[in-house]
Amino acid sequence: MAPVPPQPATSPGECSGDRPLRRDAERNRQRILHAAADVFTERGLAATLDDVARQAGVGVGTVYRRFPDKEALVDALFGQRIGALVALGEQALREPDEWAALTWFLEQAGELLAADRGLRQMVMFTTYGRNRSGEARACLKPLITRLITRAQAAGAVRSDLCPTDIPMIEFMLASVAGYAQHTRPEVWRRYLALILDGLRPDRAGTTALPEPALNPDEMQAAMGTAHLGRP
Amino acid sequence: MAPVPPQPATSPGECSGDRPLRRDAERNRQRILHAAADVFTERGLAATLDDVARQAGVGVGTVYRRFPDKEALVDALFGQRIGALVALGEQALREPDEWAALTWFLEQAGELLAADRGLRQMVMFTTYGRNRSGEARACLKPLITRLITRAQAAGAVRSDLCPTDIPMIEFMLASVAGYAQHTRPEVWRRYLALILDGLRPDRAGTTALPEPALNPDEMQAAMGTAHLGRP
Amino acid sequence: MAPVPPQPATSPGECSGDRPLRRDAERNRQRILHAAADVFTERGLAATLDDVARQAGVGVGTVYRRFPDKEALVDALFGQRIGALVALGEQALREPDEWAALTWFLEQAGELLAADRGLRQMVMFTTYGRNRSGEARACLKPLITRLITRAQAAGAVRSDLCPTDIPMIEFMLASVAGYAQHTRPEVWRRYLALILDGLRPDRAGTTALPEPALNPDEMQAAMGTAHLGRP
Amino acid sequence: MAPVPPQPATSPGECSGDRPLRRDAERNRQRILHAAADVFTERGLAATLDDVARQAGVGVGTVYRRFPDKEALVDALFGQRIGALVALGEQALREPDEWAALTWFLEQAGELLAADRGLRQMVMFTTYGRNRSGEARACLKPLITRLITRAQAAGAVRSDLCPTDIPMIEFMLASVAGYAQHTRPEVWRRYLALILDGLRPDRAGTTALPEPALNPDEMQAAMGTAHLGRP
DNA sequence: GATGAATGAGTATTCATTCAT
DNA sequence: GATGAATGAATACTCATTCAT
């Protein structure tokens, strides 16, 4: 399967339609987004908006003109990354082997998370990230559902696996990746493998999952309430 | 197996022996620790030491007299909780069924984490928590090792599972628990079950783990470098 | 000899050239510097930056935007005053009588110190004042050297007097001026006169100085280590 | 001339008579005074009373029982040192050469100051030191007066030198000693020599001193108002 | 529109002094 | 009397956000 650029052409809304910004305004928007990606990747979400502005080569004021506040910027960034996941999902669905498709997707998403500290924090805490670009997520959900259903139909995956389990698994990998980022940045693959073994289709020794997965509404709610510390 | 109180006999120094504080000082120390547990559980580690002091009904100065800085307080709290885990581990080892012992331990530890947001943060980031009560941890490690070796000897667990995998699994559960704390606080059990299925002994469909587990030194190092965002 | 304004043309960088600040920023910078001069003159270096800000009629943040920390502000102030000394030194060199030139310079410098408690503290302690505007100092040194060499060549001053003796003498006068600031603010002139008598050229009754003067490196080092009390 | 121990048996008041403390209380008082001397010498007056107490091997409470507040402790210490000066003065008066007596005294006093950072601060600032042990000073004054009068009668010293000039000269030396304490701790001797040359009896080239010396009342007042920074 | 200057509430920490044990 | 625990006002510095230029 061909490699995929980390952030493919993910303009504001790929599914929906936003009225476009003036040419230069859009250029600034992108500069800020790139700068934010760099800065947050390196220093985490605690990085200052002044840092982002400096990296982008614009004034803070400009950042605030483009994004109402820090959370909005984080949201936008998150949306971009979800966009990348969407691309990944689409690519995965072109893989004929259903199990391989699923694992490839999980692995690619893991790599995305492992490489980006800011993204890990976005994914793991909702301090920042008010609405979390529900839009982009809306594009992603059906892809994941298809990935799973297909694999279940093929008997490649346990039948009680649900779509929302996928982001949850990514959360878990993100936590591992963050923890070992400076000591063994690849160790998250070990735990992905462990979890994949747990995803294998029902057989002797497979236990029924004691709790239902989050339904989409709960998932949405969880994303809006999880937070790290700041009130 | 009998239930266990969340924080069993966890006097100032778990394994070691400290010279006792004056009666009233010790009382205040406990008040502060309890207050910190409350406050951190509710608002996370970002809570102020002034908050802790207010909650404890003492002045900030008193907190600083007892704990040289915020990290030290967090450490002490963490030590307490590790103490609870030690007790859990000991109790687990009294269970004759090797698999049940391991799962029971993982579940209990998960409950501890699920109930305490501050603890989750302590476990997941090492920004705060300098040495992380190495002492108490030292008590815990052999217990976990025994739990695993025993289960492997009985053929109840995959043979490539390593001791450091256990805390890593807990990290993952903690991340899930945190994420869903307000929507479905128990959903972490679903992922524990999934992972447990992945821990089952080698059989058809079990994949070799692609990365070795952290060795104890790496684990130690990871604990010292993981962080959330503050520079 | 004509009187001299206390702080002559002392724009942001004395000898060097900094890119200019925005109009309003520069205005505020000056306000802060003036406020700092007032506050430090009155209450000494122990005054709070909040005090300075209040006096300047700006927020603390503004002070911190202009000067990275308290030391930097003190440095800037110190640089300004050294700038005044430079002007004094240049003026002194225009005086044909070599002895008069030297004494006039010492006296003017003494007046500067006598009038400004904050400056006395800056001069006497290096707790605050990291680099002490080495730049402006660098401008001052050759002037002092010339003043002395000239006077020595004319036989107006003892031949073992060294350039670093001049700041030391000022330190001593500053200590006197501070001590008597509220009772007899002019009494430092008495001790200047005493010292000047000691500077007179070699004659019967002049003793060889038992210790060499600090060389420039030692002077530099002394400025970096002298301190008042804070660790 | 024989050397002199730095702090000779200088119990609370040598001239006056205080009602004695209980034996053990007096012992504690001395322990505290010694500890304070050590601590202040090393870290300056900014040292904590807790530090002093720890060094003395007593609780802070005990320090406060013996000395109403930090200033009082500093005062007492200052009194002790003045006591040492008194001893020095008495010894100096036994020297038949009037000029040698004076210089020896100034040099000894300089050594005392050079060796003790805390003392320098006490002498140079009156932040701490409310009454400055007027008592012990009262003992010192006549000695200094005698030293000077004698030397003037012998024509060894300029006739306009006054008793209060002596402490002022010491202040100046203290400032130098403090400044160079880590780079050239002995350089103050250079400036003492310079000043001594200025003290030599009237001759060609001696200027009349432009300001009268402080009179004793002014001296007293200066001691009570000079201060460093804390309001 | 863009800029970056200004703002000020918020945080961890210290230390002289008081007071319960 | 001695001890050391408790107190809390004070201080330097940060950063998200607003607004004048």
pLDDT in tens, D47-105: 899 999 999 999 999 999 999 999 899 889 888 888 898 999 999 999 999 999 999 99
For residue A132, the model assigns a pLDDT of 59
- For the CA of C24 and the C1' of F20, the distance in angstroms is 9
How far in angstroms lies nucleotide F9's C1' from the CA of residue A76?
A: 44
Q: Which residue of C has its CA nearest to D225?
A: C182
Question: Could you tell me the distance in Å between the CA of residue B184 and the C1' of nucleotide F6?
Answer: 43
Predicted pLDDT at A207:
86
In chain C, which residue ranges form alpha helices assigned H by DSSP?
23-43, 49-56, 60-66, 70-93, 98-115, 117-124, 134-153, 165-179, 188-199, 216-225
How far is it, in rounded angstroms, from Cα A224 to Cα B61?
Answer: 37
Work out the burial of residue C18: count CB atoms within 10 Å of its CB; fewer than 13 is exposed, 13-18 middle, 19 or more buried.
exposed
Angstroms from C163 CA to nearest CA on chain D = 13
Q: Which residues of D touch C211 (CB under 8 A)?
A: 184, 186-187, 189-190, 193
pLDDT of A16 reads 45
CB pairs under 8 A between C and D: 181
Q: Which residue is closest to B194 within chain A, CA to CA?
A: A198
Nearest Cα neighbor of B88 from B105, B100, B103 is: B105
Q: Is any atom of strand E within 7 angstroms of residue B69's beta carbon?
A: yes
Residue D103 (CA) to nucleotide E7 (C1'), in angstroms, measures 60
**Are the C-beta atoms of residues C136 and C15 closer than 8 Å to each other?**
yes
pLDDT at C229: 34
| Cβ D24 to strand F below 7 Å | yes
- D205/C197 CB distance under 8 A: yes
Place of tokens 């128990």: B186
Residue nearest to nucleotide F8 (CA to C1'): B59
Q: Which residues contact A45 (CB under 8 A, 6 or more apart)?
A: A74, A118, A121, A122, A125, A127, A128, B229
Which tokens is D214 given?
């402080």
A92: CB partners within 8 A, 6+ apart: A1, A101, A102, A104, A105, A108, A143, A147
> Taking CB atoms and an 8 Å cutoff, what residues of chain B touch A218?
180, 183-184
Chain C closest-CA separation from residue D102 CA (Å): 15
Predicted confidence at residue C201, as pLDDT, reads 86
| D22 CB contact with strand F at below 7 Å | yes
More confident residue, B152 or B125: B152
Range list of H helices, chain A: 23-43, 49-56, 60-66, 70-93, 98-115, 117-124, 134-153, 165-179, 188-199, 216-225
* A194/B190 touch (CB, cutoff 8 Å), yes or no: no
- Closest residue, CA to C1' of F5: B25
C231, pLDDT greater than 60: no
CA distances from A215 to A162, A211, A221 (A): 9, 11, 10
For all residues of chain C together, what is the average pLDDT? 82
Give which of B111, B170, B179 to mutate to test A binding, by max A Cβ within 10 Å. Answer: B179
Given a contact cutoff of 8 angstroms between Cβ atoms, the answer to whether B130 and B226 are in contact is no
B44 φ/ψ sector (left φ>0, alpha ψ -120 to 50, else beta): left
Question: C28: Cβ under 7 Å from strand E?
Answer: yes
Nearest nucleotide to the CA of B231, by C1', is: F14
Long-range contacts at B162-165 (CB < 8 A, ≥ 24 apart): B162/B212, B162/B213, B163/B213, B163/B216, B164/B213, B164/B214, B164/B215, B164/B216, B164/B218, B164/B219, B165/A190, B165/A191, B165/A194, B165/B213
pLDDT in tens, D93-111: 999 999 999 999 999 999 9
Tokens in use for C2? 């004509």
Asked whether the beta carbons of residue B190 and residue A198 sit closer than 8 angstroms, the reply is: no
What nucleotides of chain E have any atom within 7 angstroms of a protein Cβ?
Answer: 1-21
Does C touch A (3+ CB pairs < 8 Å)? no
> Nearest CA to B169 among B139, B153, B148, B184?
B148
The predicted structure's pLDDT at residue A227: 46
pLDDT value at B82 more than 80:
yes
pLDDT the model gives residue D229: 35
Interface test with D, best of C164, C184, C196, C203 (most D CBs within 10 A): C184
Average pLDDT on B164-192 reads 90
Cα–Cα distance between D107 and D101 in angstroms, integer?
10
Q: What is the pLDDT of residue A155?
A: 93
Average pLDDT over all residues of chain B? 82
Name residues 40-69 of chain A with a Cβ under 7 Å from nucleic strand E: 58-62, 64-65
The separation, in Å, between residue D73 CA and nucleotide E19 C1' comes to 21
Residue nearest to nucleotide F20 (CA to C1'): C24
Backbone angles phi, psi at A48, to 5 degrees: -80, 150
Residue D115 approaches strand E within 7 Å at CB: no
pTM, to two decimals: 0.77
3-state DSSP assignment of residue B96:
coil
Higher pLDDT, A99 or D171: A99
DSSP states along B122-148? HHH--SS-SS--HHHHHHHHHHHHHHH
The pLDDT value given to residue B182:
83
End-to-end CA distance of chain D: 44
Residues 33-92 of B with CB under 7 A from strand F: 57-62, 64-66
CB contact under 8 A, D181 and C205: no
The residue of B175, B184, B195, B214 whose CB has the most chain A CBs within 10 angstroms, and thus the best one to mutate to test that interface, is B175
Average pLDDT rounded to a whole number, residues C218-225: 74
Candidates C42, C117, C197, C220: best to mutate against D (most CBs of D within 10 A) is C197
Q: Which residue has the higher pLDDT, D195 or C21?
A: D195
Q: Which of D47, D172, D222 lies closest to C180 in CB terms?
A: D222
By Cβ distance, the residue of B165, B198, B222 closest to A183 is: B222
Residue B18 CB lies within 7 Å of the nucleic strand F: no
Model pLDDT for residues C188-214, shown as the tens digit of each residue: 999 999 999 999 887 766 889 999 999
Angle made by CA atoms B148, B151, B154, in degrees to the nearest 5: 150
| pLDDT of A17 | 47
Q: What is the mean pLDDT of residues C117-126?
A: 70
Does residue D1 contact residue D104 with C-beta atoms inside 8 Å?
Answer: yes
Is it the case that residue D161 has pLDDT exceeding 80? yes
Q: If you average pLDDT over each of C133-142, D10-19, D134-143, which comes out highest?
A: D134-143
Lowest mean pLDDT across C150-164, D3-17, D182-196: D3-17
Contact C127, D44 (CB under 8 A): no
Q: Compute the average pLDDT of residues B45-69.
A: 92
pLDDT in tens, chain A (231 residues): 544 444 444 444 344 445 566 677 888 899 999 999 999 988 888 889 999 999 999 999 999 999 999 989 988 988 888 889 899 999 999 999 999 999 999 999 999 989 888 888 777 665 455 655 666 677 888 999 999 999 999 999 999 999 999 989 998 998 888 888 888 999 999 999 999 999 988 776 688 999 999 998 888 777 665 543 332
Using an 8 Å CB-CB cutoff, list chain B residues near A212: 190
Task: Report CA(B67)–C1'(E11) in Å, whole number.
Answer: 17
- The verdict on a CB contact (< 8 Å) between B178 and A229 is no
The strand ranges marked E within D93-198 are none
Contact in structure between B74 and B83 (CB atoms under 8 Å)? no
- Which residue did the predictor score with more confidence, C41 or D38? D38
pLDDT at D220 (0 to 100): 76
**Banded model confidence at residue C127, pLDDT cuts 50, 70, 90:** very low
pLDDT score recorded for residue C82: 84
- Which band of pLDDT confidence, cut at 50, 70 and 90, is reported for residue D187? very high
Contact B197, A198 (CB under 8 A): yes
Q: Which residues of A touch B174 (CB under 8 A)?
A: 175
Compute the mean pLDDT over every residue in chain D, rounded to the nearest whole number: 83
Task: Pick A175's closest partner by Cβ from B172, B183, B214.
Answer: B172
Q: Does position C110 have pLDDT exceeding 90, yes or no? A: yes
What are the pLDDT digits (tens) for B16-51? 445 566 778 888 999 999 999 999 888 888 889 999
Cα–Cα distances in angstroms (integers) from residue D2 to residues A80, D6, D103, D150, in the given order: 86, 13, 15, 21
Nearest residue for E7, CA–C1': C59
Determine the protein residue whose CA lies at the shortest distance from the C1' of E2.
A62
Residues 58-97 of A with CB under 7 A from strand F: 60-61, 64, 69-71
Checking each nucleotide's C1' against the CA of A21, the nearest proves to be E1
Tokens linked to A64:
């605030």
Q: For B131-143, what is the mean pLDDT?
A: 72
Burial class (CB in 10 A: 0-12, 13-18, 19+), A101: buried
Distance CA B95, CA D137 (A): 81
pLDDT one-digit tens code per residue, C53-96: 999 999 999 999 999 998 889 888 888 888 888 899 999 999 99
